[in-house]
């Protein structure tokens, strides 16, 4: 898998997590946790040496989760 394919796939997973939070609210937490596990697995499989991408995809999904949690605690 080349860098463009890998980054497109990971970006798609991040967008899926955002969309789930947007449409399902708090009920999306389990689904998004599963997406996070997939991201972690794919990073280990495709990018364990850091040569495919320099992006911290686990960090990005964690930011999405934290942002959502902040949003619901502010309500």
CB atoms within 10 A of CB 47: 19
What are the residue ranges spanned by the domains of the chain?
Answer: 3-73
pLDDT of residue 75: 63
pLDDT of residue 53: 96
Q: Is the pTM of this model over 0.75?
A: yes
* Tens of pLDDT, residues 35-47: 999 999 999 999 9
Q: How far is CA 43 from the centre of its chain?
A: 11
Is residue 58 exposed (0-12), middle (13-18) or buried (19+ Cβ within 10 Å)? middle
Residues 58/36, Cβ–Cβ less than 8 Å: yes
Residue of 9, 31, 10 whose CA lies nearest to 21: 31
pLDDT of residue 73: 86
Q: How far is CA 16 from the centre of its chain?
A: 8
* Tens of pLDDT, residues 24-69: 999 999 999 999 999 999 999 999 999 999 999 999 999 999 999 9
pLDDT of residue 2: 96
């Amino acid at each position: 898998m080349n860098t463009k394919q890998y980054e497109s796939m990971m970006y798609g997973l991040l967008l899926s997590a955002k969309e789930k939070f947007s449409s399902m609210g708090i009920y999306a937490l389990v689904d998004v946790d599963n997406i996070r596990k997939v991201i972690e697995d794919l990073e280990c499989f495709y990018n364990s040496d850091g040569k495919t991408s320099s992006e911290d995809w686990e960090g990005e999904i964690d930011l999405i989760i934290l942002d959502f949690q902040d949003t619901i605690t502010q309500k």
